[in-house]
Amino acid sequence: MKFFIDTANLEQIKEAQALGILDGVTTNPSLMAKEGITGEGNIINHYKEICELVDGDVSAEVISTDFEGMVKEGEALAALNPQIVVKLPMIKDGVKACKYFSSKGIKTNVTLVFSAGQALLAAKAGATYVSPFIGRLDDISTDGLNLISEIRLIYNNYGFETEILAASVRHTMHIIDCAKLGADVMTGPLSAIEGLLKHPLTDIGLAKFLADYKKGN
**Catalytic positions:** 87
119, 154 contact by CB (below 8 A): yes
160 forms part of the interface with ligand E4P (CB under 6 A): no
The beta strand positions in 56-98, using DSSP E, are 57-61, 84-89
Cβ neighbours around 153 below 10 Å, total: 12
Q: How many CA atoms lie within 13 A of 121 on its CB side?
A: 21
Count the helix, strand and coil residues of the chain and give each as a percent rounded to the nearest 5: 55, 20, 30
171 forms part of the interface with ligand E4P (CB under 6 A): no
Closer Cβ to ligand E4P, 59 or 100, answer by number: 59
Binders of ligand E4P among 89-118, rule CB under 6 A? 111
Closer Cβ to ligand E4P, 108 or 187, answer by number: 187
Closer Cβ to ligand E4P, 95 or 185, answer by number: 185
SS3 sequence, 154-179?
HHHHHCCCCEEEEECCCCHHHHHHHH
Q: How many CA atoms lie within 13 A of 139 on its CB side?
A: 8
147 forms part of the interface with ligand E4P (CB under 6 A): no
131 forms part of the interface with ligand E4P (CB under 6 A): yes
135 forms part of the interface with ligand E4P (CB under 6 A): yes
177 forms part of the interface with ligand E4P (CB under 6 A): no
| Candidate residues 75, 136, 171, 184; the one interacting with ligand E4P per rule CB under 6 A | 136
6 forms part of the interface with ligand E4P (CB under 6 A): yes
Specify the amino acid at residue 179.
A
CA gap 63, 104 in Å, rounded: 20
Closer Cβ to ligand E4P, 144 or 209, answer by number: 144
User: Least distance (Å) from ligand E4P to the CB of residue 143?
Assistant: 15
Instruction: Determine the 3-state secondary structure of 107 from DSSP.
Output: coil
Backbone Cα Rg of the chain: 19
Q: What are the φ/ψ torsions at residue 113 (nearest 5 degrees)?
A: -100, 125
User: Least distance (Å) from ligand E4P to the CB of residue 138?
Assistant: 10
| Candidate residues 43, 167, 185, 190; the one interacting with ligand E4P per rule CB under 6 A | 167
56 forms part of the interface with ligand E4P (CB under 6 A): no
User: Least distance (Å) from ligand E4P to the CB of residue 210?
Assistant: 38
List residues binding ligand E4P (CB under 6 A): 6, 26, 28, 111, 131, 133, 135-136, 167-168, 187
